[in-house]
Structure 1
Amino acid sequence: MARGKYILRTDADDIALPGMAASLTGFMESHPDYVICGGNMQVIGEKRVFTYISDNDHLKVFTLNLCPFSHSTVIIRRAALEEKGLRYNEFYKDGEDHALWSELLPYGKFHNLEEVTLLYRESTTQITASKSYSAGYSALRRKVFALQGTRYFGLSAEEAEDYARLITQAEPSGTAELARMGETMLKALRANAGNGYFDPALLRQSLFVKWHWICLCSYSLGRKVFPVYFRYIAASGNMLRLKSLGTHLIKMIKP
C-alpha cells in the first residue's frame, strides 16, 4: 500500500532515466492543481521517441480518443485517488490505465513533461503485442469510451454504447443507428456546456471529426446518409470542411 504523497509507477522492463522522479515530483510540487503528470519516452536501442501532448485542455480532449499518457512515466497525486476511491478496475483489463485516467479527469489538471523521462522496451512478449490484445482492442476501447459517455456526458447505458461506437468509428448498420450516434454527439456538447470538463471548442472539433468520418465511411448506405449528416452538422454548430465534403458528396451520390 502506497503511503507517500505521490505514486510513481514504471513497468519492470523499462528504464527510468536519472532525474525522472525528481522532474515529475518537482512539477507536481509546483503545480498543486494537477493530479497526474507523465513524460515522453525513447525506445531502447533506437532514436525513436514517443511524444505526448503537454497542454491540459488538449490532453483532456485527447483522452476521449486515445490513452493520454505512457503508463510507465506517470506520477499521480495519491490524495486524488484516495479522496475519490479510485483504483484500477479489472473490468477494463489491459486498458485499466486509460479507464483510471478517465475517472481521474474531473478532479484536476493533466500534464506531460516535454522531456524524455524513460527508456521503453519493445518486445514480442508484451501485452500490447499479443494476438489476444489485438483481437479485443476495439471492444476494450468501446468499454472505456462508454465509461466516458456516462461519466462526463450523463448518457444512459444504451446511449453510451452508441457514443462509444461513434468514437471507435464502428460502421453503423443503418441510418437509424447513425442518427443515434449523432444524438450522442449533441448530448455530449450540451452536457459539457453545463459541467465544463472540456474546452468547448476543442470538444466540438474532436466530435466533428468523428462524426464527419463515420458518415464518410458509411457511404455504403447511399444517399440516405446525406440528410442525417447535415442535420447533426447544423445542430452541433460545426463549420463544414468543404474539401472533405466534396469527397463525401461524390461517394454518396453513387447509385
Structure 2
Amino acid sequence: MNTPMISVVMPVYNGEKYLNEAIDSILHQTYTDFEFIILNDGSTDRTEEIILSYDDPRIVYVKNEENLQIVKTLNKGIALAKGKYIARMDADDISLPERFKKQVEFMEENPDIDVCGTWVKTIGYNVEQWQYPVGHEQIKSYLLFDSALAHPSVIFRSTVFEHINYEEAYNKAEDYALWVELSKEHTLHNLPLYLLQYRLHPGQTESTRQFEVANMVRKKMLNNLNCSLKTDQIKSFTNIVLGKAVEIDKMDDVFTVILEANNRTIFIDDKTLKIIIEEKFWHNLLINVKCNAKVFYKNGSILKKYSMRKYFKSFFKCIIGYKNDK
C-alpha cells in the first residue's frame, strides 16, 4: 500500500475475549487511510487465530515469539510505523467510527499540536464518562497529579518519536511518563469528544507497582518545575493525590512550594496552575467534613486566599456535613 496517513499500533497479549470488537472498530472507521499494526506479544490463547481470520490489506501482523511486554512491544510497533500520524489502540477497547476522522481533521488544522487524545466512555463492569483536561496548560497542570490523556485514544505526529520512546523504567505507567516528557517541548491536547469506549474489568485496581511508578513520574513532573519537596511534604502530596484528607496547613504548604517553584521556572502558565491547584485544594478539603469544619474557624486566613466564594460555600457544606456526621 502507499504511505498511509495513520499507523495504528495495537499490542495484544492473550486478548481473545475482546479482540474481535477492537479490530472491527478500527477496520470500520469512516477514515480509511491507515495501516493497522497488530503486535501479538507471545500470546498463548486464540489471539493469533483471530488476527489471521481477517483478510484486510491494511493489517500488518507482527508476532513476538516471546512475551516482550508492553513497552518493548509499543516501541517495536512505532519503529515499524510508516504514517504521518501514529494512533494508539488497546485490544480490549472500542474506537468509535469517527475517531480517526475527527482527530486527523483537528491535527491537520492545528499544526502546532503534537499529541491529541479524546474523552472516553467506559464499558464493562461500570459505565462512566471521563472528561480529560483539554488545553495544553491544563494538561500540564493535571500531570502533577496523574495522567491527563487516555492512552488508547491518542494520536501522535510521528515526528514526536524521532528522539523519544516509551521508557522501560516506567513500565506500568509508561504512558504517564511519556506525557510528562513530551510536555517539555511538545504541545498536548484533548478533543472534548467521546471517541473511545474504554473497557473496565472487574477487580481492576491500581497495583502497588503501578502506584510506585506513578509516583516516580510525579517526581519527574515536579523536577520539570525545579520543585523539591521535603519528606513530610511528599507524604502530604501523596495523600492529596490519593484523595485522602490532609491537614489544611500541610496542604497549603505543599501547594505554596509548587506555585513558588513554577513562578521561578514558568514551566506551566501560572494562572492555569493556580486554578487547578485551587480545585484540588477544595476537593481535598471537603473529603473529611467533620474534621475540616473546625479548620474553618482556626485557619480562615489560609482558606480565604484560595477563594472567598468557595470559602463560604465550603464552610456551609462542612457545617451541614458535620451535623449529619454526628
TM-score between the two structures when normalised by the length of structure 1: 0.69
Which residue, out of 94, 100, 107, partners 2:185?
Answer: 107
Q: Residue in 1 aligned with 2:92?
A: 13
Is 1:186 matched up with 2:256?
Answer: yes
* 1-structure distance, mates of 2:214, 2:301: 27
Which residue, out of 155, 162, 170, partners 2:244?
Answer: 170
Q: Residue in 1 aligned with 2:154?
A: 74
Change (3 A) 1:160 1:108: farther
Corresponding residue SS for 2:262: helix
Q: Residue in 1 aligned with 2:313?
A: 243
More strand per residue: 2
How far apart are residue 185 of structure 1 and its match?
0.6
How far apart are residue 186 of structure 1 and its match?
0.9
Corresponding residue SS for 1:67: coil
The amino acid across from 2:177 in the alignment is A
How far apart are residue 70 of structure 1 and its match?
1.9
Q: Residue in 1 aligned with 2:138?
A: 58
The amino acid across from 1:149 in the alignment is L
Q: Residue in 1 aligned with 2:115?
A: 36
Change (3 A) 1:233 1:223: closer
Change (3 A) 1:246 1:10: same
* 1-structure distance, mates of 2:289, 2:169: 34
The amino acid across from 2:153 in the alignment is T
* 2-structure distance, mates of 1:89, 1:231: 46
Q: Is the 8 A contact 1:141 1:168 kept in 2?
A: no
Corresponding residue SS for 1:38: strand
Q: Residue in 2 aligned with 1:130?
A: 204
- Spell out, residue by residue over 1:16-38, the C-alpha distance to the aligned partner (whole angstroms, 9 max, x if none): 34554454344333323222101
Q: Is the 8 A contact 1:142 1:165 kept in 2?
A: no
- Spell out, residue by residue over 1:140-188, the C-alpha distance to the aligned partner (whole angstroms, 9 max, x if none): 655543443333352246344433333333334xx6xx53432221122
Task: Out of 60-69 and 102-111, give the one that drifted further.
Answer: 60-69
Change (3 A) 1:144 1:47: closer
Q: Is the 8 A contact 1:147 1:160 kept in 2?
A: no
Change (3 A) 1:31 1:213: closer
Identical counterparts, % of pairs: 23
Is 1:154 matched up with 2:232?
Answer: no
How far apart are residue 59 of structure 1 and its match?
3.6
Q: Is the 8 A contact 1:146 1:164 kept in 2?
A: no
- Spell out, residue by residue over 1:89-118, the C-alpha distance to the aligned partner (whole angstroms, 9 max, x if none): 544x43332232123223232222344433
The amino acid across from 2:261 in the alignment is A
Change (3 A) 1:38 1:223: closer
Which residue, out of 282, 287, 307, partners 1:212?
Answer: 282
The amino acid across from 1:239 in the alignment is M
The amino acid across from 1:68 in the alignment is A
> Relative contact order (C-alpha < 8 Å, sep 6+): which is higher?
1
Corresponding residue SS for 2:189: strand
Task: Out of 145-154 and 181-190, give the one that drifted further.
Answer: 145-154
Of structures 1 and 2, the larger Rg is shown by 2
Change (3 A) 1:218 1:152: farther
* 2-structure distance, mates of 1:212, 1:118: 30
Number of equivalent positions = 241
Corresponding residue SS for 2:108: helix
Unaligned 5+ segments in structure 2 are 1-75
How far apart are residue 50 of structure 1 and its match?
4.7
Change (3 A) 1:166 1:16: closer
Unaligned 5+ segments in structure 1 are none
Change (3 A) 1:89 1:116: same
Q: Is the 8 A contact 2:122 2:199 kept in 1?
A: yes
Task: Out of 102-111 and 134-143, give the one that drifted further.
Answer: 134-143
Q: Is the 8 A contact 1:145 1:164 kept in 2?
A: no
